């Protein structure tokens, strides 16, 4: 077993070198496992991703080579739904902006118009993608007597209608060619000027430039983001300059219990494949 010693993930060239003699790879979603890496690792039989999403892996290339790709579905559903709802509340009630002001010594005299946010109780929540996490967010919304709309492959309403009707919109779809750039300028313009957009899925679902323009121009009221494009955001990025965005560093699964369970699942996937068995949580079941 060889463990990458650096605090930051390996550069693509370094990862290719590290995998040259490897039979299995346990990686993070920040590690790009593409055809070039797979060509450089002829012994590779298993790739286990410490994440639910596997958009960092070229699944077609892995499948053609007979390489099993594992992931960790289900285990982070409730934890990520908790964070999605936390971001919804924080963005709606301007917690990021007001907390920053307090730390900067700018505690204003109380006034009726200070830090006015959006009402959550009794609002309408649109959920894009009613899978495990989207459904868990909907359950949390019930306690606030929120009307829930959804748009997904399993039914619901059109995304355009969802955006027009929702006070809050939360994204929970996988990243693929069809969903890349799902929310752009046209979609943001459909939303209410008082609406809040939440994203705990993948940053590439949203056109970042369009989002910055919408936040600055008042097309929407606020955003709560656990994922961004690019990720991480470089210093001075325009998204970091808007007060009406609450941004966290991709911590949707960051509870002690969830991360421990993810680690167990990722290792179980890897060991099963190296024993010549199917992974318990296989992202490419068509592999031979």
DSSP 98-160: HHHHHHTT--PPP-TTTT-----TT-EEEEE--SHHHHHHHHHHHTTT-EEEEEETTEE--HH
Out of 250, 257, 281, 288, the active site residue is 250
Specify the pairing of strand 68-70 against strand 46-49.
parallel
Q: Which two tokens stand for residue 245?
A: 């965005």
Q: Is 202 tagged catalytic? A: yes
Active site includes 281? Answer: no
The catalytic residue among 202, 275, 286, 288 is 202
Q: Which residues of 98-119 are buried (b: 16+ CB within 10 A; e: fewer)?
A: beebeeeeeeeeeeeeeeebbe
What is the spatial distance between Cα 9 and Cα 31, in angstroms, rounded to a whole number?
Answer: 7
Identify the three-state secondary structure at position 187.
helix
Quick count: other Cβ atoms within 10 Å of Cβ 9? Answer: 15
Q: State the catalytic residue, choosing from 36, 180, 231, 237.
A: 231
| Count of helix runs (H) and strand runs (E) in the chain | 10, 10
Q: Is residue 36 among the annotated active site residues?
A: no
Tell me how far apart the alpha carbons of residues 114 and 197 are, in angstroms, rounded to a whole number. Answer: 22
Active site residues: 202, 231, 250
């Amino acid at each position: 077993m060889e463990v990458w010693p650096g605090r930051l993930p390996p550069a693509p060239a370094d990862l290719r070198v590290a995998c040259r003699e490897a039979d299995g790879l346990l990686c993070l979603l920040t590690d790009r496992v593409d055809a070039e890496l797979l060509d450089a690792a002829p012994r590779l039989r298993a790739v286990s991703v410490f994440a639910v999403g596997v958009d960092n892996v070229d699944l077609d290339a892995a499948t053609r080579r007979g390489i099993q790709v594992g992931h960790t579905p289900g285990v982070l559903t409730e934890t990520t739904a908790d964070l999605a709802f936390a971001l919804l509340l924080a963005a709606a009630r301007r917690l990021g902006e007001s907390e920053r002001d307090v730390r900067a010594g700018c505690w204003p005299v109380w006034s009726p118009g200070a830090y006015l946010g959006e009402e959550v109780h009794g609002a309408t929540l649109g959920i894009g993608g009613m899978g495990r996490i989207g459904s868990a967010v909907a359950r949390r919304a019930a306690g606030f007597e929120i009307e829930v709309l959804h748009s997904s492959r399993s039914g619901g309403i059109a995304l355009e209608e969802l955006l027009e009707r929702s006070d809050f919109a939360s994204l929970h779809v996988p990243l693929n060619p069809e969903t890349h750039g799902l929310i752009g300028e046209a979609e943001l313009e459909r939303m209410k000027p008082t609406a809040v957009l939440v994203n705990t899925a993948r940053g590439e679902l949203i056109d970042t430039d369009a989002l910055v323009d919408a936040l600055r121009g008042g097309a929407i009221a606020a955003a709560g983001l656990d994922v961004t494009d690019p990720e991480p955001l470089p210093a001075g990025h325009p998204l970091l300059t808007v007060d009406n965005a609450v941004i966290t560093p991709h911590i949707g699964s960051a509870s002690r219990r969830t991360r421990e369970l993810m680690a167990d699942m990722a290792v179980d996937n890897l060991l099963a494949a190296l024993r010549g068995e199917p992974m318990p949580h296989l992202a490419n079941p068509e592999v031979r």
